[in-house]
Amino acid sequence: MATFVDRVVLHATGGDGGHGCASIHREKFKPLAGPDGGNGGNGGSVILEVDPQVTTLLPFHHLPHRHAPSGTQGMGDHRSGSTGEDLVLGVPDGTVVKSPDGTVLTDLVGAGARYVVAAGGRGGLGNAALASPRRKAPGFALLGEPGEQADVVLELKTIADVALVGFPSAGKSSLVAAISAARPKIADYPFTTLVPNLGVVQAGDARYTVADVPGLIPGASQGRGLGLEFLRHIERCSVVVHVLDCATLEPDRDPVTDLDVIEAELAAYAEDLETAANGVPLAQRPRVVVLNKIDVPEARELAELVRPELEARGLPVFEISTASHEGLRTLTFALAERVGSARREAPAPEPTRVVLRPRAVDESGFTVTRREGGGQVWFAIRGEKPERWVRQTDFANDEAVGYLADRLARAGVEEALFKAGAVAGDEVRIGPDHNSVVFDWEPTLLTGSELLGGPRGTDVRLEDRARPTRGQKRREYTERMDAKAAARAELWTEREQGVWTDPDA
């Protein structure tokens, strides 16, 4: 069973908004009390929040589908529905939220950082809120909007000051256990460490964190071993520490070759990075070389042999032994000095700017596009307001459909259809292609609630009230007279033939 997960796919769904209520207040001696339907409650949102107590994305691995509570329906007597509570999901510090195509949506750093993954739907208005001087008692209410659905990828990038890199079994986990209180699994076979290990080091007054990145081998940046899975954990570090094994038994390996191989893998991985921690690219961050296992006599001799060559490259070199703890104190204080220097040189965090993007004066908020396909022509209407109004409309209620027509006309949709070349009877679709409302456009329909005189829940514009013309009446009269003459002729023919009764009776 997995115990550490640093990449998951989250399927989040916001709560649906509650429907509005269509109700008329009824009380003795108050026949004209008016509408009293309440509004529906808003649905809850799915929110990611950085929680310092959470260190892994394992809960999302077991439960990837999360749904926020929905709002309840409004009721009569001006009682609004209850609002669904937001579903707040705790994530580790350093979680990156991406879209399925890899676009970075947000980077959650710092306790309390939040991001709304799927917003809840708005509740529908009751008929009390829809009443106006011209429509005094609406017989309909607006429906609640469905909550948003979003699929996001969560990636955990460990926030550590020092990253330990090196070949398997080089002593990285042993070094973390020797200089901190962490107790990772340690064994004498490759790929013992399957997950990154974190440790907190106290060197005098300085405190910093150390991360052990497992599984770096030649070709790790192309997916070999475990390096590609965990190289993201070194993106935020300030200092890179190369832990080199001076007591390896493999004949084709030595400390200098190991250093060159790991540096080549880091350089290949750094080419794909779009951001840099503290504004410093990965290739330009301070390097420290640690020659490990000098408690072995042959390893100490090899360390003394390769140290001048490494120092000639401008790299600080430290000879240590995690078994005897030789050289660890000097190493921890040297790392604390470099971490402190990186923290002082890091730019101060800038406050989040509030960006206001007012709508242009000539922006209508929707688009009308003429489309063709399969020998058919239609006009597609896309926009936040028209699509939201369609979702809120109860198409089983004629008065609600008439209210939708009034809203679209006031927004200028009819004028835009005229400009796009639409004529009476053309097909119009509002919404996305896979889920749109389709109707035949009739521009001659009168709009305006002052023309509504029918009972509640109806709209005279949707009723067939066409009067027949004089020619149609004359044709209907002629057809009835011809039908009567034909019936009389058939009866007279039967009478002349003497067919009066059934001979078998």
121 CB-near residues (< 8 Å, 6+ apart) = 14, 15, 16, 17, 42, 43, 70, 71, 144, 145, 146, 147, 148
Report the distance separating Cα 233 and Cα 337, nearest Å: 22
> What is the structure's pLDDT at 232?
72
Note the helical H segments in 226-296.
227-230, 255-270
Which residue, among 446, 447, 408, 441, has the nearest Cα to 423 in the 3D structure? 441
Closest among 154, 148, 199, 155 to 173, alpha carbons compared:
199
C-alpha 498: how far from chain center: 87
**H/E element holding 149?**
strand 149-156
Quick check: 242 and 262 in contact, CB under 8 A? Answer: yes
> What pLDDT score was predicted for residue 152?
94
Phi, psi (rounded to 5 degrees) for 131: -70, 145
pLDDT at position 279, please? 58
DSSP codes, 325-342: TBTHHHHHHHHHHHHHHH
Indicate the annotated binding residues.
166-173, 191-195, 212-215, 292-295, 321-323
Q: What is the DSSP string of 58-114?
A: HHHHH--EEEPPPPPPPBTTTBPPPPPPPEEEEE-TTEEEE-TTS-EEEEE-STT-E
SS3 491: helix
pTM value?
0.71
CB 227 within 8 A of CB 216: yes
Annotated binding site for Mg(2+): 173, 193
The DSSP 8-state label assigned to residue 38 in this structure reads P
Say what the pLDDT of residue 439 is. Answer: 85
The 10s digit of each residue's pLDDT in 38-94 is: 999 999 999 999 998 887 888 898 899 999 999 999 999 999 999 999 999 999 888
pLDDT of residue 412: 87
C-alpha angle with apex 108: 107 to 114, nearest 5 degrees? 120
Q: What is the pLDDT of residue 4?
A: 61
Is 328 within 8 Å of 291 (Cβ atoms)?
no
The Cα–Cα gap between 246 and 261 comes to: 15
Known binding positions for GTP: 166-173, 191-195, 212-215, 292-295, 321-323
> Which parts of the chain have pLDDT scores under 70?
1-4, 182-195, 215-230, 270-280, 348-352, 362, 444-457, 459-466, 498-505
Quick one: tokens of 488?
């009389």
